[in-house]
């Protein structure tokens, strides 16, 4: 229970009879209304004023900080540039100053809002100088201590944000915005031995995409320059790839999966930047002639998408069949129920007739034997 509730209850107010500036909350106590909070004036320990207050509720070390307890917390407008003994140093910057309500005329010249406006003006001025000529850059971060935007260049952030700036705001160099992707091939090799027989199976998956969507050529070139060695780790490794690598590393010499010797190799090669996947039929035939099974990643993606559509279509057909079966059973039950109205029975006869069925749900005009049932699962 907050201090406001204690005071109002002591004065004889109830949850159904209370002043207009409060309301009964779901927490079973009184809270200031939103309109009342907007008009209140709060003061910091150093004498700055603040007009209005939101629902700044929080607890720390067993103390509840909220407007109803006359101790809401705000952020110090001086940040940490001015020493202050009243500031909570271990609290976040936006919650490190405790204010109290005052009854006086609001003075904007000695207010938190005026200092916040100054901070906003400094940040806007730095933004106009740094980013306005080039466009928004996700790799620039505002630093209030230096009053400037400092670069935190990360090519992954550029790619994720989909930067479209023609000139980089950090390097000041022109960017090639041609949409491309990074493609590479994956060679999977299975080396096995069973008794006197040895076998090598090689599978080459071509045209594997690094990114799900195309990116700017400049970003692709920088990414490839910085992370070319990381492709060997196999960001597109499947669960089977990781499993086979593990067993071949620790158990390959002694055998695995029924073989006396088993080694699995996962190799990334032919890393390139292309606008779209290119195919070399001659190279594919040359690889096939060497005993390598060649498959293109885009074909696998299309095949999986088609299989997904086929499964969805099959589920829809099964659902429609179940719905039709249940309707037929319902109409047959209506015809056998004396309490069903004539309108419903006529509707059931019409629907059964449209499907070529009699009143028992059997094919019309055919006298089925006793062991014949329309739905075999019902025989059980």
3-state secondary structure (DSSP) of residue 63: strand
Q: Over range 60-69, report the average pLDDT.
A: 89
Question: Are residues 237 and 320 both part of a single domain?
Answer: no
For position 23, what pLDDT does the model report?
A: 93
For position 363, what pLDDT does the model report?
A: 81
**How many residues does the structure list for the chain?**
380
Question: Are residues 362 and 259 both part of a single domain?
Answer: no
Q: Count the domains in the chain.
A: 3
> Please, which pLDDT band fits residue 251 given cuts at 50, 70 and 90?
confident
Residue 232 lies in a domain: yes
For position 369, what pLDDT does the model report?
A: 42
The last residue of one of the domains, among 88, 114, 140, is: 114
Q: What is the pLDDT of residues 202-237, one digit of tens each?
A: 999 999 999 989 999 999 999 999 888 777 665 678
Distance CA 269, CA 159 (A): 23
Distance CA 332, CA 371 (A): 19
Question: Are residues 273 and 308 both part of a single domain?
Answer: no
Q: What is the pLDDT of residues 310-358, one digit of tens each?
A: 999 999 999 999 999 999 999 999 998 889 899 999 999 999 988 888 8
Q: How far is CA 250 from the centre of its chain?
A: 37
For position 379, what pLDDT does the model report?
A: 46
Residue 359 lies in a domain: yes
Q: Over range 190-200, report the average pLDDT.
A: 91
Q: What is the pLDDT of residues 365-379, one digit of tens each?
A: 544 444 444 454 544
Residue 37 lies in a domain: yes
For position 90, what pLDDT does the model report?
A: 82
For position 1, what pLDDT does the model report?
A: 87
Residue with tokens 């499907």: 355
- What percentage of the chain reaches a pLDDT higher than 70? 94
Residue 138 lies in a domain: no
Question: Are residues 235 and 319 both part of a single domain?
Answer: no
For position 80, what pLDDT does the model report?
A: 83
Question: Are residues 8 and 109 both part of a single domain?
Answer: yes
Q: Over range 252-276, report the average pLDDT.
A: 89
Question: Are residues 23 and 73 both part of a single domain?
Answer: yes
Distance CA 56, CA 24 (A): 17
Does pLDDT of 96 surpass 60? yes
For position 235, what pLDDT does the model report?
A: 63
For position 355, what pLDDT does the model report?
A: 86
For position 365, what pLDDT does the model report?
A: 56
Are residues 170 and 140 in contact, defined by beta-carbon separation less than 8 angstroms? yes
Are residues 57 and 51 in contact, defined by beta-carbon separation less than 8 angstroms? no
List of residues 6+ apart from 272 with CB closer than 8 A? 182, 183, 184
> Please, which pLDDT band fits residue 361 given cuts at 50, 70 and 90?
confident
What is the residue-averaged pLDDT of the chain?
88
Question: Are residues 321 and 360 both part of a single domain?
Answer: yes
For position 380, what pLDDT does the model report?
A: 45
Residue 173 lies in a domain: no
Q: How far is CA 323 from the centre of its chain?
A: 35
- Determine which helix (DSSP H) or strand (DSSP E) holds 22, and give its type and residue range: strand 22-24
Its pTM stands at 0.70
Residue 365 lies in a domain: yes
Question: Are residues 272 and 324 both part of a single domain?
Answer: no
Question: Are residues 328 and 254 both part of a single domain?
Answer: no
Residue 151 lies in a domain: no
Q: What is the pLDDT of residues 35-62, one digit of tens each?
A: 999 999 999 999 999 998 877 788 888 8
Question: Are residues 108 and 7 both part of a single domain?
Answer: yes
The last residue of one of the domains, among 87, 114, 141, is: 114
- Determine which helix (DSSP H) or strand (DSSP E) holds 102, and give its type and residue range: strand 100-102
Residue 146 lies in a domain: no
For position 59, what pLDDT does the model report?
A: 86
For position 106, what pLDDT does the model report?
A: 93
Among residues 137, 252, 112, 99, the alpha carbon closest in space to that of 189 is found at: 252
DSSP designation for 294: E
Q: Of 20-34, 183-197, 356-370, where does mean pLDDT reach its minimum?
A: 356-370
Does pLDDT of 119 surpass 90? yes
Q: Which two tokens stand for residue 76?
A: 């110090």
What beta strand segments (E) does 105-196 contain? 140-143, 148-151, 179-194
Are residues 139 and 150 in contact, defined by beta-carbon separation less than 8 angstroms? no
Are residues 80 and 93 in contact, defined by beta-carbon separation less than 8 angstroms? yes
Q: Over range 102-121, report the average pLDDT.
A: 93
Provide the residue range defining the domain that includes 205: 182-212+227-278
């Amino acid at each position: 229970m907050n201090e406001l509730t204690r005071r109002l209850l002591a004065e004889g107010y109830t949850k159904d009879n209370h002043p207009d500036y409060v309301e009964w909350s779901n927490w079973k106590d009184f809270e200031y209304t939103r309109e009342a909070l907007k008009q209140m004036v709060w003061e910091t320990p150093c004498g700055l004023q603040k007009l209005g207050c939101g629902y700044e509720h929080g607890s720390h070390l067993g103390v509840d900080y909220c407007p109803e307890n006359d101790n809401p917390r705000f952020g110090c407008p001086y940040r940490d540039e001015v020493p202050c003994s009243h500031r909570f140093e271990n609290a976040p910057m936006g919650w490190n100053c405790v204010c109290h309500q005052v009854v006086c005329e609001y003075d904007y010249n000695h207010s938190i809002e005026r200092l916040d406006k100054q901070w906003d003006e400094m940040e806007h001025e730095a933004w106009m100088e740094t980013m306005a000529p080039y466009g928004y850059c996700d790799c620039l971060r505002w630093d209030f201590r230096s009053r400037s935007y400092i670069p935190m260049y990360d090519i992954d952030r550029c790619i994720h944000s989909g930067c479209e700036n023609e000139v980089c705001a950090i390097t000041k160099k022109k960017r090639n915005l041609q949409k491309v992707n990074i493609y590479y091939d994956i060679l999977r090799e299975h080396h096995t031995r069973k008794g006197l027989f040895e076998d090598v199976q090689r599978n080459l998956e071509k045209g594997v995409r690094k990114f799900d969507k195309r990116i700017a050529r400049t970003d692709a070139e920088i990414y490839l320059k910085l992370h070319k060695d990381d492709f060997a780790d196999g960001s597109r490794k499947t669960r089977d790839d990781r499993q086979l690598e593990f067993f071949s590393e620790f158990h390959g010499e002694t055998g695995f999966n029924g073989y006396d010797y088993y080694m699995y190799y996962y190799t990334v090669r032919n890393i390139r930047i292309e606008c779209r996947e290119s195919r070399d039929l001659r190279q594919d035939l040359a690889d096939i002639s060497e005993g390598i099974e060649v498959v293109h990643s885009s074909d696998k993606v299309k095949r999986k998408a088609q299989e997904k559509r086929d499964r969805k279509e099959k589920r829809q057909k099964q659902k429609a069949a179940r719905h039709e079966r249940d309707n037929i059973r319902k109409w047959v039950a209506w015809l056998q129920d004396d309490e069903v109205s004539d309108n419903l029975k006529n509707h059931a006869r019409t629907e059964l007739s449209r499907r070529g069925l009699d009143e028992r749900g059997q094919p019309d005009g055919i006298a089925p034997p006793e062991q014949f049932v329309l739905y075999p699962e019902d025989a059980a």
